[in-house]
């Protein structure tokens, strides 16, 4: 809302400097959809929630006995999901007025969980990727309670029927599809509702084992990270409704861009799109430095900048949901919050002053120092004050479309996901749990 006041050049650029670092002992950190909090997963099984306004840890989610492998936020940040190597996925309810917050659900899996995430429209649908290369879609809703494995259909043909292990899995931003990456470098697309595979894509030229996906908010593009140390951006094809006979599309996808480090050939830990999808940040898996590469997608994917975060190597990064800010986690467990600082405007201290970059010859306007009829001025002022104003309608921030995607009437997939909704309603508040006064 006040972006124009804080930053007069209101388009999102990429961050340039570290604003603050949180000593969180984490292995990764993820912003919540509002950008107010950050969730940090730790190796000791605890996840911590930090308030970015005060830069304090405000909740400790203590429930796992082994390292936390992933963390996800529900649409309105009320529920937090943590997955762990201890075979469990735990859903936490931050609306509970105490710390540690209430455990909302515990999902026991059959193997260590590598990652898990909420469905973008309903936090009762959970996607879990296991260490063993299987992907499960778990539905906790009363009327849909189920646990389905997402399987590539058996073909038993000349490949020997050997199914490739699944190495990464994510919902697309609409929640209609699950994108799964495999060890052999194919992308499998499943329908969330029917749990059937609707497409299988090979990557043109081969890519090696897939390590991760990221989508911009629009969901029309996809960037993949793979073991050949190249990030590839694809245009996501339009998929027809799932075929009842289990027929699926089989195509090869040609990347629109390939991002890599041509000199050092570093691998990538993670990548993240900016909120408007115009920038892509890649976290280099360099063992000695903390480097974030930024590419300008709007400018044909040109390399824009490298951010150097010091000597602690990078482990993970995540772009803020609305601002030009990145959270990057170091191998030592600190979370660096990057921002793009605005220079202080000294002219702001004097009312009616405006800063200029260099001296300008001031040209007096024709009528500038004319003596005006005071009555005339007063009348004009009164006239101007007639204008109706609105003091209490709050214009909601439109930069968060995620929870406003309406089900378009006959969209079966979205209607299915919206059925039996969760209690994650906008406007809930997290209670301040005050530390005890130790004085």
* Residue closest to 27 by CA, chosen among 132, 114, 94: 114
Q: Of the two residues 147 and 404, which places its CB atom closer to another protein in the complex? A: 404
Examine residue 428 and tell whether it contacts another protein (CB under 8 A). Answer: no
Number of residues that bind another protein (CB under 8 A): 61
- The values of phi and psi at residue 269, to 5°, are -80, -55
* Residue closest to 210 by CA, chosen among 220, 222, 197, 195: 222
Binding span for another protein by CB under 8 A among 118-126, 140-148, 293-301, 340-348 = 340-348
Rounded Cα distance between 269 and 282, Å, is 8
Q: Of the two residues 263 and 360, which places its CB atom closer to another protein in the complex? A: 360
Exposed/middle/buried for residue 268 (C-beta within 10 Å: 0-12, 13-18, 19+):
buried
Q: Of the two residues 381 and 408, which places its CB atom closer to another protein in the complex? A: 381
Examine residue 355 and tell whether it contacts another protein (CB under 8 A). Answer: yes
DSSP state of 3: H
Q: Of the two residues 157 and 375, which places its CB atom closer to another protein in the complex? A: 375
Examine residue 386 and tell whether it contacts another protein (CB under 8 A). Answer: yes
Binding span for another protein by CB under 8 A among 119-127, 192-200, 258-266, 348-356 = 348-356
- Residue 236 CB neighbour total at 10 angstroms: 19
Specify the 3-state DSSP secondary structure of 73. Answer: strand
Examine residue 378 and tell whether it contacts another protein (CB under 8 A). Answer: yes
Examine residue 5 and tell whether it contacts another protein (CB under 8 A). Answer: yes
Q: Of the two residues 98 and 346, which places its CB atom closer to another protein in the complex? A: 346
CB of 238 to another protein, least distance (A): 37
Specify the 3-state DSSP secondary structure of 56. Answer: strand
Tokens of 84: 């762990």
**306 and 296 in contact (C-beta within 8 Å)?**
no
Exposed/middle/buried for residue 186 (C-beta within 10 Å: 0-12, 13-18, 19+):
buried
Which of 352, 370, 398, 406 binds another protein (CB under 8 A)? It is 352
Considering only residues 358 to 377 of the shown chain, the ones binding another protein according to CB under 8 A are 358-360, 362, 368, 375
Examine residue 23 and tell whether it contacts another protein (CB under 8 A). Answer: no
Instruction: Return residues touching another protein (CB under 8 A).
Output: 1-2, 4-6, 19, 36, 51, 53-56, 58, 341-342, 344-360, 362, 368, 375, 378, 381-382, 384-395, 397, 429-435, 437-439
């Amino acid at each position: 809302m006040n972006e124009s006041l804080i930053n007069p050049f209101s388009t999102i650029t990429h961050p340039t400097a570290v604003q603050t670092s949180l000593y969180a002992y984490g292995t990764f950190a993820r912003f919540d959809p509002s950008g107010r909090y950050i969730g940090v997963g730790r190796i000791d099984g605890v996840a911590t929630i930090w308030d970015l306004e005060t830069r304090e840890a405000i909740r400790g989610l203590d429930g796992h006995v082994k390292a936390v492998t992933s963390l996800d936020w529900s649409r309105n940040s009320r529920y937090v999901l943590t997955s762990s190597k201890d075979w469990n996925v735990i859903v936490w309810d931050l609306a509970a007025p105490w710390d540690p917050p209430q455990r909302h659900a515990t999902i026991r899996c059959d193997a260590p969980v590598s990652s898990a995430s909420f469905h973008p429209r309903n936090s009762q649908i959970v996607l879990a990727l296991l260490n063993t290369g299987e992907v499960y879609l778990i539905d906790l809703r009363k009327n849909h309670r189920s646990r389905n494995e997402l399987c590539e259909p058996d073909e038993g043909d000349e490949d020997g029927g050997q199914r490739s292990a699944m190495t990464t899995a994510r919902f697309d931003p609409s929640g209609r599809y699950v994108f799964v990456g495999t060890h052999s470098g194919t992308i499998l697309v499943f329908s969330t509702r029917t749990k059937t595979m609707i497409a299988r894509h090979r990557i043109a030229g081969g890519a090696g084992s897939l390590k991760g996906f990221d989508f911009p908010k629009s969901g029309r593009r996809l960037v993949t990270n793979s073991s050949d140390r190249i990030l590839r951006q694809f245009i996501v094809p339009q998929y027809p409704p799932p075929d009842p006979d289990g027929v699926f599309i089989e195509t090869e996808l040609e990347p629109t861009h390939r991002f890599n480090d041509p000199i050092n050939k570093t691998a990538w830990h993670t990548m993240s799109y900016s909120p408007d999808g115009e920038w892509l940040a890649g976290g280099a898996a360099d063992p000695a430095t903390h480097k974030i590469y930024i590419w300008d997608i709007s400018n044909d994917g040109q390399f824009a900048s490298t951010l150097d975060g010091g000597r602690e190597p990078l482990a993970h990064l995540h772009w803020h949901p609305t601002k030009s800010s990145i959270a990057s986690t170091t191998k030592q467990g600190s979370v660096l919050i990057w921002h793009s600082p605005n220079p202080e405007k000294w002219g702001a201290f004097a009312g009616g002053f405006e800063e200029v970059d260099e001296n300008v010859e001031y040209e007096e306007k024709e009528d500038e120092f004319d003596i005006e009829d005071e009555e005339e001025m007063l009348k004009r002022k009164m006239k101007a004050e007639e204008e109706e104003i609105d003091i209490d309608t709050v214009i909601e921030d439109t930069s968060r479309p995620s929870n406003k995607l309406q089900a378009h009437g006959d969209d079966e997939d979205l209607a299915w996901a919206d059925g039996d909704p969760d209690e994650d309603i906008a406007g809930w508040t997290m209670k301040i749990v005050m530390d005890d006064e130790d004085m």
